Amino acid sequence: MAASAITYKRHRYRTQQGKWRSGPIPYGLQPDSTGWFEPDPETYPILLWMLERRAESQGYHAIAKQLNQGIALADGQPREVPPTPGLIIYRRKPYLERQDPETGDIIRESRPMPSGTWTDSTVEKICKRVFDGVYAGVLRWGERYNKFDEDADGNLKEPVRVETGRPLIPESLLRRVQAVELAAQEGELATMSAFNSSLLSLRCGACGEAIHGYTSTKYKGEKKYCYRTYRCAGRGNKPGSCRMPMLSADEIERLVLEVLMQDIIERSRETLLEEINDAIARKRGELLSAIELAEEQLRELEERRQTTLDALTTQYKGVGAHPRRAGRAGRRCARRLRRGRGADPQVPAGDRDAG
């Protein structure tokens, strides 16, 4: 049996037993004595920090940006840029090994040092493993093949997925991150965090311009302050045109909810349903009118198109018929000339034959 077949069967058997095979160690973890993983004291807190931000529905780019700016895992600690997975691999093994084909000796070559910059794809790969990967206690193997689709016995290679029952992050954090990843995968709006959510269709009472939600983040020492406000577009686009100050988002939203709830309480259920149905009927009528207008315009455009095509067809037919008509007329004239020469008595017979 070939060495590659033996290696494949050994790795497959090890995976089916719920044991990690060789490969890159997941971020924040280190191998234990049972073939699985345990938290790495150096990087596990960084892993939890990233997953907490993802559980708050922050995007991969936002998390990577914060990591590159430096984070403080506890109060009083200085902000530092944590090591990336590539940098950790480099620290563990700063060289590459290859075998000399002639002598069989192992040669070590220097490995280029990674940049140490966090990227969106790196954060995404880590968060994806929480959804259905190592961090959730799921061992996956055999999803990619580089050479053959069948093993040495002719059996089709199939991926292996094993539920080890040994998740590596707290259960509550695991469920929250999985919910965010699932919502992002299905394209739901639930991926937007509450910090980035704002009310719609607000108008300034001073100038009549739209009011938009505005978020900002400031650092004072090691502390981080996040602010949510509403700002008039007239003030932002044309400084001095509006004197409406920036308003606290929490206060505005509280007042809006109070007015909305009071309006719902004052109205009866039947009246509210009737108003909703009337609004739906109005919108339906507007949509039907728009559809009828679009169909009428489409018919007019189709008629214009057909008229233009007919005119072009007639024009090209006329252009194509003129050369043929001229050719037929020329041939008729030539035949008449030949007949006329044969009937002319003043032309000698020899000349007619020569002609």
pLDDT averaged over 10-residue windows placed end to end, the chain, 355 residues? 71 82 85 89 93 89 91 85 91 86 86 89 90 86 66 75 88 88 67 56 80 78 78 75 82 82 74 82 88 89 88 69 56 65 49 44
Burial of 25-44, coded b for 16+ CB within 10 Å and e otherwise, reads: bbbbbeeeeeebbebbeebb
User: Is the same domain home to 238 and 336?
Assistant: no
CA dist 217 and 106 (Å) reads 53
pLDDT at 49: 94
Residue that is last in its domain, among 223, 243, 266: 266
**CATH number of the domain within which 24 lies:** 3.90.1750.20
- Are both 275 and 316 inside the same structural domain? yes
| Predicted local distance difference test score (pLDDT) of residue 28 | 92
186 & 230 share domain: no
Same domain, 335 and 260: no
The model's pTM is 0.53
Same-domain pairing of 338 and 321: yes
Please tell me whether residues 165 and 289 are part of one structural domain: no
Distances (CA, A) of 132 to 137, 150, 206, 334: 8, 26, 52, 91
- 213 and 276 inside one domain: no
What pLDDT shows up at residue 153? 73
Of 175, 191, 207, the last residue of a domain is: 191
pLDDT for position 82: 93
Domain boundaries, position 143: 3-82+118-191
* ∠ CA 147-153-157, rounded to 5°: 50
Q: Answer whether residue 131 is part of any domain.
A: yes
Instruction: Give dist(CA 298, CA 285) in Å, integer.
Output: 20
Q: Are residues 311 and 274 in the same domain?
A: yes
The helix or strand, by DSSP H or E, that contains position 77, with its residue range, turns out to be none
Q: What is the pLDDT of residue 38?
A: 92
The strand pair at 106-110 and 138-141 is best described as unpaired
- Closest to 229 measured CA to CA, from 245, 212, 249, 209: 249
Q: Are residues 130 and 216 in the same domain?
A: no
Report if residue 218 sits inside a domain. yes
126 and 242 housed in the same domain: no
Total tally of structural domains belonging to the chain: 3
Q: Which of 145, 166, 191 is at the close of a domain?
A: 191
